[in-house]
Each structure stands twice: as C-alpha cells, then as structure tokens.
C-alpha cells in the first residue's frame, strides 16, 4: 500500500537558517504530493503541492520538487523565521478510481525556530 | 481560513457515550473526508463521501459512522466511546475531480 516516511523530529533551528525536511514515499503509479503545516492549536493548512514528476511546488518561501527517480519530495526553505515554527506533514494522494483522493500522511516533523 | 467549518471545537464526554461531529465543506465542494489525529496513530483517513454517497473507507471502527446530507454537510457519529477515541477529528473537502483537500480546524474530543 501507499506510505510516506518523513525525517524524525524535532528539528530546532536559529532564525535565518536553512531548512530541509526529508520526505520519501511508496506508491504505485503517479501520486500527487503535498506538504501541510499545522501551527500550534490549529488545523492543517496546505503549504504546497506537486502533481507530476519534476514539478516544483512553492509557497511562502518554501519549496519542494517531485522526484520520481528517488521517490522524494523534500521540503526546503532558505531562511526560516520564528513564525515558521509548526508541525510539517508530507502526504500523498493516489486515486483508486472515481473521485477518491484520500491522503496518506507521514508522521509529521516538529520544527522550532529560535530567535 | 480554509472555508471548511467544524463544530464543536472541543468536546468532553464520558466512556460509553455517543457524540456527533459536524462538518460543512467549502462552497461548491462535493467531497468530504474525515481524518483522525492521535499521538500514537498519527493522521489516519477514516471515511469519504461524495455528493451524499460513501466512496471510500479507511481505518474506521464499526462503532463510528458518518453520513453526508443533501446540503453536503457531513456528520461523524462516534458511539460507545472509549478512552482511546480521544483525538483530534478533522474534516476536509475537495472539489469533485480535483485532489487538493482543504481542512477544517478540527474537533478535539476528550473521553474521560
């Protein structure tokens, strides 16, 4: 079945540091890939997505490139801010027919950015 | 704000009880998904409805059931509650044939 593996956290960085959160997946066919972010006490927000190989998703300075050859979708940001402190989830969606696009999530990575 | 609303925000109840969680999808979205987030299991897909019909089931217990109404809002019913059912329950919605799911703020359930 489908699965997503994220790097274990927590990750602690200083403001303006470079961020990488690794994500690899196992799926048949061509899944769509997502990064969601969960700020403390809040729900999940879509951060970025990519729907086919070599696509790059980007939003708010975050980027991730869909690499089919390595089955990866690593999240990067060049300069993190304290406000980026949150839990980040990598997820995939693979239709099994019709309009079923259930998401399979990784375990999440807690990021803490210190001033 | 994703446009998906969930009520209530918090729910505290006792073992053996039954509760109903409600979700209103984004305007125009026909598909509703329910997920459970717990510390030990992470985020897990429970069930999906599309335009009133059940489309997919995940790791949903037999004590749990859901439905989607003609106005497209959905309810998740949890019965014979156990301590282990304490979790965050999220609803998400998406347009018919598109893949991006938008999540509501969640309902935090505490079973005592």
Digitized pLDDT (tens) for each residue of chain B, 112 residues in all: 889 999 999 999 999 999 999 999 999 899 999 999 998 889 999 999 999 999 889 989 999 999 999 999 999 999 999 999 999 999 999 986 556 899 999 999 999 9
Q: Residue B20's CB: how many other CB atoms inside 10 A?
A: 14
Output the average pLDDT for chain A. Answer: 92
Tens digit of pLDDT for each residue in B31-54? 999 999 998 889 999 999 999 999
Q: Give me the residues of A, 59-88, that contact B with CB < 8 A.
A: none
Task: List the single residue in A45, A102, A107 with the smallest CB-CB distance to B56.
Answer: A102
Residue A96, pLDDT above cutoff 70: no
B90: chain A residues, CB-CB within 8 Å:
43-44
pLDDT reported for residue B35: 96
Helix (H) or strand (E) holding A70: none
Beta bridge partners of B69: none
Chain B contact for A107 (CB, 8 A cutoff): yes
Pair B42, A108: CB distance under 8 Å: yes
User: What is the tens place of the pLDDT at every residue in A36-84?
Assistant: 999 988 889 999 999 999 999 999 999 999 999 999 999 999 999 999 9
For residue A92, is pLDDT > 70?
yes
Nearest one of A13, A14, A2 to A96, comparing CA atoms: A2
- Chain A partners of B56 at a C-beta cutoff of 8 Å? 96, 100, 102
Q: How far apart are the first and last CA of chain A?
A: 41
């Amino acid at each position: 079945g489908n699965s997503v593996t994220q790097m274990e956290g927590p990750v602690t960085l200083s403001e303006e540091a470079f961020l990488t959160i690794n994500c690899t997946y196992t799926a048949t066919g061509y899944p769509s890939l997502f990064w969601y972010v969960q700020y403390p006490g809040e729900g999940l927000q879509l951060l970025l997505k990519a729907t086919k190989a070599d696509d790059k998703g980007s939003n708010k300075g975050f980027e991730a490139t869909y690499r089919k050859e390595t089955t990866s979708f690593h999240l990067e940001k060049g300069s993190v801010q304290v406000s980026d402190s949150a839990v980040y989830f990598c997820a995939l969606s693979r239709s099994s027919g019709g309009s079923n696009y259930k998401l399979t999530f990784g375990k999440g990575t807690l990021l803490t950015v210190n001033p | 704000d994703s446009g998906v609303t969930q009520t209530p925000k918090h729910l505290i109840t006792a073992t053996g009880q039954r509760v109903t969680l409600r979700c209103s999808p984004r305007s125009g979205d026909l598909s509703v998904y329910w997920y459970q987030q717990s510390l030990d299991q992470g985020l897990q897909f429970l069930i999906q409805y599309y335009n009133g019909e059940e489309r997919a089931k995940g790791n949903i217990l037999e004590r749990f059931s859901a439905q989607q109404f003609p106005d497209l809002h959905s309810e998740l019913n949890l019965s014979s509650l156990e301590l282990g059912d304490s979790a965050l329950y999220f609803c998400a919605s998406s347009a018919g044939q598109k893949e991006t799911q938008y999540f509501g703020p969640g309902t935090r359930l505490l079973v005592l």
